[in-house]
Amino acid sequence: MIVLKNVRPYGEDAVDIRVEDGVITEIGKDLTAGEIFDAQGAVALPGFVDLHTHLREPGREDTETIETGSRAAALGGYTAVFAMANTDPVADNAVVVEHVWRRGREVGLVDVHPVGAVTVGLKGEKLAELGTMARSQANVRLFSDDGLCVADPLIMRRALEYTKALDAVIAQHAEEPRLTVGAQAHEGETAARLGLAGWPAVAEEAIVARDCLLARHVGARLHVCHVSTAGTVDVLAWAKARGTRVSAEVTPHHLLLDDSRLATYDPVNKVNPPLRGHSDAAALRQALADGVVDCVATDHAPHAPQDKDCEWSAARPGMLGLQTALGIVVKTMVEPGLLDWRGVARVMSERPAEIAGLPDHGRPIAVGEPATLALVDPDARWTVDGAALASIAGNTPYEGMELPGAVIATLLRGRFTARDGKVA
């Protein structure tokens, strides 16, 4: 039995929370127990759920493993993560997804849910065995070719039909590949000035519009990965208004950063979709506040030094995200008054859990509910040091940046997975 003393659920008045057998059994004042954890007024939120994580295992264990990624997740306040399928071998069959699922359970720091590939080998040509992955022990309910777009409209339609029957959802990396051949940076003034080939906003928006139409036609659910443009927000608002079953995520980096960062040509800022314009980031923050964009997902994308410390065009896209997500959300959404702590719970935990169909995450902080929590010191400030993060790779664009809000503890079903900045 544990008592969490002096916690503020959703930032409200301080209480004590008793935890027994993984469940919240009492919320009140002056509770005592065997083990006491004094949270000193920390904000209690349901544990975070990341719909978009690259754990790189199998295949690139030199950059991240299920174990190191799980450590980063726990330290970041996450209690469930969805591990993308663009591994080597690709997670396009039951053997690979069961391996990822089993390894996640062995590590035991966060619920690791493998995402299944939509097409065999992410090639976009032939549907993977979605049903077999759904019925496997890994119980896959989220499918994505992330890294690549399911570009063929007929394949996408068939995939939506299958996932509808499986009560699953497709997470689309929306990028019309014919419009991004050789693309290196957001198409606009900055890219033109720096001499980088443009990645136009319409390459994303055209696929989001097409897939919203397809999802509605089929009656299936669609989830849009890493929304990056103001135009995509407009398309989503339109599709939702007419009843399309679409949800969307935004990354912390697209909320905070824009293409003005590219002036140094430091590939740490290279990511797909690219950092967009200043007004796009502002539109994304507003859309997250309004609920047009449902949730935050990290797109945590570790890369080896040799794939990042090189010239811009040769560098791989992607950046770390799990341990900095909360801080960026506080900085971009809470501090400016766009979200309160209830709102943070919604976008970091409740909505992603709903989208993925996780019954025991994103739950209310109430008696009888799982003690799956993130405790956040809202007044703490800390400085990002890539080398000190739990990931093997260190490619963070926030190096040296001071961030507000620190995760002081994470609990998964009543067990500490992180505590005082250390994995428990």
Ligand X SMILES: NC(=O)N[C@@H](CC(=O)O)C(=O)O
**Does 173 engage in binding with Zn ion (CB under 5 A)?**
yes
Indicate the residue among 68 and 180 with the shorter CB distance to Zn ion.
180
Question: Least separation, in Å, of the C-beta of 174 and Zn ion?
Answer: 8
Q: Determine the straight-line distance between the first and last CA of the chain, rounded to whole angstroms.
A: 16
Q: Which two tokens stand for residue 298?
A: 């990290």
Determine if residue 378 is labeled as part of a ligand binding site.
no
- For the chain, how many residues are written? 424
Report the C-alpha gap between 266 and 272 in whole angstroms. Answer: 15
> Taking CB under 6 A as the criterion, which residues in 306-335 touch ligand X?
317-318
Binding site partner of 317, from ligand X, Zn ion, none, Cβ cut-off 5-8 A by kind: ligand X
Residue window 9-48: x/- pattern of binding to ligand X, with contact defined by CB under 6 A: ----------------------------------------
Binding site partner of 271, from ligand X, Zn ion, none, Cβ cut-off 5-8 A by kind: ligand X
Question: Least separation, in Å, of the C-beta of 102 and Zn ion?
Answer: 23
Catalytic residue flag (residue 299): yes
Q: Which distant-in-sequence residues (6+ apart) come within 8 Å of 219 by Cβ?
A: 164, 245
Per DSSP bridges, beta strands 169-172 and 222-224 are: parallel
> Taking CB under 6 A as the criterion, which residues in 343-362 touch ligand X?
none
Q: Which two tokens stand for residue 389?
A: 């993060």
Binding site partner of 331, from Zn ion, ligand X, none, Cβ cut-off 5-8 A by kind: none
Chain centroid to CA 263: 27
Q: Which two tokens stand for residue 152?
A: 């063929």
Catalytic residue among 299, 309, 340, 377, which? 299
Q: Which distant-in-sequence residues (6+ apart) come within 8 Å of 300 by Cβ?
A: 50, 52, 53, 54, 69, 72, 320, 321, 322, 391
At 167, is the secondary structure helix, strand, or coil?
coil
Residue window 92-131: x/- pattern of binding to Zn ion, with contact defined by CB under 5 A: ----------------------------------------
Query: Which of the ranges 7-15, 32-40, 212-220, 292-300 carries the binding residues for Zn ion, by CB under 5 A?
Result: 292-300
Peptide bond into 9 cis (omega under 30): no
Indicate the residue among 16 and 249 with the shorter CB distance to ligand X.
249
Quickly tell me which residue has 């799990």 as its tokens: 322
How many chain residues are in contact with ligand X, going by CB under 6 A?
A: 11
Determine if residue 186 is labeled as part of a ligand binding site.
no
Report the C-alpha gap between 366 and 23 in whole angstroms. Answer: 9
Q: Which distant-in-sequence residues (6+ apart) come within 8 Å of 290 by Cβ?
A: none
Binding site partner of 103, from Zn ion, ligand X, none, Cβ cut-off 5-8 A by kind: none
Among 15, 134, 262, 271, binds ligand X (CB under 6 A): 271
**Does 54 engage in binding with ligand X (CB under 6 A)?**
yes
**Does 301 engage in binding with ligand X (CB under 6 A)?**
yes
Indicate the residue among 269 and 349 with the shorter CB distance to ligand X.
269
Q: What angle do CA 240, 54, 51 make, to 5 degrees?
A: 30
Determine if residue 253 is labeled as part of a ligand binding site.
no
Binding site partner of 163, from Zn ion, ligand X, none, Cβ cut-off 5-8 A by kind: none
Among 141, 173, 223, 300, binds ligand X (CB under 6 A): 173
Residue 5, beta-bridge partner list: 38
Residue 10 one-letter amino acid: Y
Report the C-alpha gap between 162 and 211 in whole angstroms. Answer: 15
Report the C-alpha gap between 47 and 233 in whole angstroms. Answer: 27
Indicate the residue among 272 and 417 with the shorter CB distance to Zn ion.
272
**Does 5 engage in binding with ligand X (CB under 6 A)?**
no
Indicate the residue among 218 and 392 with the shorter CB distance to ligand X.
392
Determine if residue 361 is labeled as part of a ligand binding site.
no
Question: Least separation, in Å, of the C-beta of 186 and ligand X?
Answer: 13
Task: Name the phi and psi angles at 74, rounded to 5.
Answer: -60, -45
Report the C-alpha gap between 110 and 102 in whole angstroms. Answer: 12
Residue 249 one-letter amino acid: E
Determine if residue 303 is labeled as part of a ligand binding site.
yes
Question: Least separation, in Å, of the C-beta of 125 and ligand X?
Answer: 19
Catalytic residues: 299
Binding region for ligand X (CB under 6 A): 54, 86, 146-147, 173, 271-272, 299, 301, 317-318
Binding residues for substrate: 54-56, 86, 272, 303, 317-318
